[in-house]
Amino acid sequence: MDQPPIVVGISGASGAALARRCVEQLAARGRGALVVCTAAGALVWQHELGEPFKRWVAKAPCRSFSINDIAAPIASGTFPTGGMVVVPCSMDTLAAIAHGLSSNLLERAADVTIKESRPLVVVPRETPLSVIHLKNLLTLAKLGVKVVPPMPHFYARPERVDEVIEHVVGRILVALGVDAALPVEMQYREGVPLP
């Protein structure tokens, strides 16, 4: 039986490449990705990846919805999904989700994911984090939301940004429950020297 699709919310924090790889990896696993991107998310996408978000999403292995399309299926709890990831998650969108706002489709889809007790993963990117940011993250963590900051895996001595992206996306897929564990080559094993 087909597994339900995953909602991928893209907001205006740095890290558009993480969202792009997440969609690619979901497609590689035969999991549909339902994408919704904020206006700031599209702006940062163009800045960081040098391609308009709209052009990418038109040919990407996913279905996408306009941020203002509050009547989209993912706005309703009756539409089955396997959960949602907000990647990258801006402090603005984080605050909105933590306070139950639903002023755009991304926020509404996150609110639905929480109320339906489905897996929700946020990938917050900001530094340094203020007390406001930390409080909002704590609010979500207490609700069972997985907080997966895009932290480099320094212990494996990554040499390229691509390696860091791959690792972070691997952790996201595990947090969502899409993958049971990280790919073997990314796992720490006792007695095996790290690369």
Ligand X SMILES: Cc1cc2nc3c(=O)[nH]c(=O)nc-3n(C[C@H](O)[C@H](O)[C@H](O)COP(=O)(O)O)c2cc1C
Kindly list the residues in this chain that would bind ligand X in the complex (CB under 6 A).
11-14, 38, 40-41, 43-44, 47, 90-93, 125-126
Q: Express the helix, strand and coil content of the chain in percent, nearest 5 each.
A: 45, 15, 40
> Could you give the C-alpha distances from 75 to 38, 54, 85, in angstroms and in order?
15, 21, 15
Name the β-bridge partners of 84.
Answer: 7, 120
**16-28 vs 39-49: helix crossing angle, rounded to 10:** 90
Smaller CB separation from ligand X, 50 or 193: 50
CB of 184 to ligand X, least distance (A): 31
Nearer residue to ligand X within complex by CB, 36 or 178: 36
Smallest gap from Cβ 127 to ligand X, in A, equals: 8
Nearest distance from residue 37's CB to ligand X, in Å? 8
d(CA 91, CA 40): 12
User: Which residue, 169 or 178, is less far from ligand X as judged by CB?
Assistant: 169
Closer residue to ligand X, CB minimum distance, 86 or 114:
86
Strands (E), 47-142: 63-65, 84-89, 120-124
- Return the number of the residue (125 or 171) whose C-beta is nearest ligand X: 125
Distance CA 26, CA 183 (A): 14
State the first-to-last Cα distance of the chain, in angstroms, to the nearest integer. 39
Q: Which residue is nearest to ligand X (CB)?
A: 12
- Compute the least distance from the CB of residue 144 to ligand X, in Å: 22
Sort strands 84-89 and 120-124 into parallel, antiparallel or unpaired. parallel
For residues 56 and 178, which CB has a smaller minimum distance to ligand X in the complex?
56
Compute the least distance from the CB of residue 101 to ligand X, in Å: 11
Shortest spacing between CB 143 and ligand X, in angstroms: 19
